[in-house]
Amino acid sequence: MTGGTWYYAKKQHLIALGRWIEPREPWGIPLSGALAGRKTKVRSSFLIYETSDGISAVLSVTDGGVLNPVFHESYEPDHLDPPPAKLLPPKPFSIMGKEPWARQVLDWYGRTDCRTVEYYLMVRKSLYALSERKLPGITVKKMGLKDLDGLLMLQEGYELEEVLLEPEAFNPRISRINLERLLSEELVYAALDSSGKALAKANTNTRALNCYQIGGVYTLPGLRGQGLGKAVMDSLVRDIESREKTPCLFVKQENLPAISLYLAGGFKTYGTYLIAYPGKPALSHG
């Protein structure tokens, strides 16, 4: 894989890039989502490494500094020419991808000691049937912008528990903006009690070319273990699969209840996924 050239994609490269990412799409949801036109602009978004055999690696770069590397299956450590420094974003916010690929990019930046969070990539195979059981007194429905205020508590709880590295940095205004985007652009389902209060939710984060990434799965703390998470997940998965798309997701490796939920719903573990934050020092365990 050495002896190639790095370059930023232009419009004429996008069809070939889409074909190349398709069989690797679960590992490159940010990249594929950008290709689908939902996340980032074409301009300077895809850094491609090409050899005489074709595309060997792609690094997608968002305006917010999120890097998503996707490498060819023949990748081995140190067998890939690093991009010229002038092509790499100088201060990436995060690097996310298959663990060895993300660590390779960290090595290019000389930041192997930064904060990291480890996940499993899980993909659902539709041959596993979903439960038709309904919960007494609970309605699961697709949500829209008119439901923003009723879902805000769930969104805030999800961000505080699952997203933010430093919960003290939580910003309710940004959380509201995030939820507004989800309700405008993504699929959002919630479980409501008889009074209409939202008790649990699940949504897509990115609708890519062939895979829809699920995120935001959250149940109010006092109501967990009662099947609410499964109810919203089943409804969301049905919607995704009705569009002939594949559901996938990332789950923290220590979140055993969530992993059990997803396994019961027909998801299978594909491998380890890493999100690294080059600007944050590694946590001390001493």
Determine, yes or no, domain membership for 204: yes
Residues 255 and 150 in one domain: yes
Residues 152 and 260 in one domain: yes
Q: What is the pLDDT of residue 180?
A: 97
- Whole-angstrom distance, CA of residue 117 vs CA of residue 252: 8
Residues 98 and 172 in one domain: no
Determine, yes or no, domain membership for 125: no
Residues 157 and 60 in one domain: no
Determine, yes or no, domain membership for 131: no
Determine, yes or no, domain membership for 282: no
Q: Which domain holds residue 19?
A: 5-118
* CATH number of the domain enclosing 225: 3.40.630.30
Residues 161 and 242 in one domain: yes
Residues 155 and 259 in one domain: yes
Helix axes 148-158, 172-185, angle to 10 degrees: 120
- What sections of 22-129 are H helices per DSSP? 29-35, 99-109
Determine, yes or no, domain membership for 271: no
Q: What is the pLDDT of residue 283?
A: 75
User: What is the number of domains present in the chain?
Assistant: 2
Residues in the chain: 286
Q: What is the pLDDT of residue 139?
A: 97
Determine, yes or no, domain membership for 280: no
Residues 167 and 73 in one domain: no
Q: What pTM, to 2 d.p., does this model score?
A: 0.91
* CATH number of the domain enclosing 24: 3.40.630
Residues 225 and 145 in one domain: yes
- What sections of 93-223 are H helices per DSSP? 99-109, 148-158, 172-185
Determine, yes or no, domain membership for 270: no
Residues 188 and 255 in one domain: yes
Q: What is the pLDDT of residue 285?
A: 52
CA distances from 188 to 40, 115, 150, 217 (A): 21, 30, 13, 10
Residues 108 and 15 in one domain: yes
CA distances from 239 to 30, 106, 271, 286 (A): 21, 37, 25, 47
Determine, yes or no, domain membership for 43: yes
Please give the radius of gyration of the chain, using alpha carbons only, rounded to the nearest integer: 19
Q: What is the pLDDT of residue 125?
A: 82
pLDDT < 70 positions in the chain:
1, 38-44, 127, 284-286
Q: What is the pLDDT of residue 40?
A: 39
Three-state DSSP class for 5?
strand
Average pLDDT, the chain: 92
Residues 44 and 112 in one domain: yes
- Whole-angstrom distance, CA of residue 68 vs CA of residue 46: 9
Beta bridge partners of 192: 139, 198
Residues 145 and 182 in one domain: yes
Three-state DSSP class for 95?
strand
